[in-house]
Amino acid sequence: MLKGKDIINTAQFSPQELNLIMNTAANFEKQVKDENIIRNMEGQVVATLFFEPSTRTRLSFETAANRLGARVITVANPASSSVAKGESLADTIRTVDGYADVIVMRHPMKGSAQIAADNAEHPFINAGDGAGQHPTQALLDIYTIRKEKGILGGHTVAFVGDLKNGRTVHSLGYFMALYRNKMIFVSPKALRMPEDISADLRSRGAEIEETEDLKKALSVSDIVYVTRIQRERFEDPAEYEKLKGSYIINRALIDQAKKGITILHPLPRVDEISTDVDEYEGAAYFRQAHNGLYIRMALLALVSGRV
């Protein structure tokens, strides 16, 4: 169903494809835990091109490729590639396409994922395109919600933080709409969810509320998805200084939230979740990061037709 396909954004998926991805991830999770040797991608080469900083996304993609028996070629630092010499994205991708069987890329420019995919014959996976989309993160987010909550739909989900620049919430919003979850967008006015995305989600039937009142949102939410203020997207550092620390979730706040609330965060966190929350049993963000491995194994295997 996904063989040869590019992964660009979350609006592209059918419910059948999402089920396939999550079930494949669950199978790989079991196989890794059973210490099975997995050879689905033996003989294949996966390229990971990261033109923006990353810890989890790059390392989990590379671990996924390694666990599947593939080999990895990587650009972890743009200064070390010919992009630093002024090479165009199209030319870089055309070149890498001649070496690798699957290309994974993160790039600071919104829209770069589509440009790259258009220049590659092999399957291309978007690992974050600027303030655009981050579909593989949203896939691991719903995989985590399914594991933590048992079901994917019918929840009230608060999105908190930098909803303007955060690509993770842009991507996850589409899945939340698809599975009929109510969304509460909590942000400072300057960092509201872009109007075009809210309108698109509403046109898909999503129920959305917007507020600046975090405490109130937490009192009615089953899940809170916290995001970092995206410092690197600010033109004016003073504006970042003004907005950082707008919302900080600490243990006292969680103790007043809806009982059983699940806390998600794509990570890295700066100061938006205090470390005293980490011991709370619904604090799922490190489990969430771990789940990324299985989702990325599933994606690599599916797009390369090796399932």
Contact characters 242-281, ligand NCD, x per CB under 6 A: ------------------------xx--------------
* Smallest gap from residue 137 Cβ to ligand NCD (A): 5
- List the interface residues with ligand NCD, window 40-59 (CB under 6 A): 56-57
Q: Which is nearer to ligand NCD, 70 or 226 (CB)?
A: 226
Binding string, residues 77-96; x marks residues near ligand NCD by CB under 6 A: --------------------
Give the SS3 label for residue 109: coil
Give me the least distance between CB of 1 and ligand NCD, in Å please: 25
Kindly state the tokens that stand for 143: 């995989």
**What is d(CA 162, CA 140) in angstroms, rounded to the nearest whole number?**
20
- Written as six digits, the tokens of 196 are 């075009």
At 10, phi and psi to the nearest 5? -85, -15
Q: Which of 112, 168, 246, 262 binds ligand NCD (CB under 6 A)?
A: 168
User: Could you tell me the smallest distance in angstroms from the CB atom of residue 48 to ligand NCD?
Assistant: 13
User: What amino acid occupies position 297?
Assistant: M
Q: How far is the CB of 207 from ligand NCD (least distance, A)?
A: 25
Nearer to ligand NCD, 139 or 303 (CB): 139
Q: What angle do CA 271, 273, 275 make, to 5 degrees?
A: 95
CB atoms closer than 10 angstroms to residue 215: 11
86 by Cβ neighbours in 10 Å (0-12 / 13-18 / 19+) ranks as exposed
- Rg over alpha carbons for the chain, rounded to the nearest Å, is 19
By CB under 6 A, the count of residues binding ligand NCD is 11
Q: In whole angstroms, what separates CA 35 from the centre of its chain? A: 27
Taking residues 123 to 142 in sequence order and writing x for each that binds ligand NCD by CB under 6 A, - otherwise, the string is -----x-----x--x-----
Give the helix ranges, DSSP H, for 179-284: 195-203, 214-220, 237-243, 251-255
Nearer to ligand NCD, 70 or 267 (CB): 267
Interface residues toward ligand NCD, by CB under 6 A: 56-57, 128, 134, 137, 167-168, 227-228, 266-267
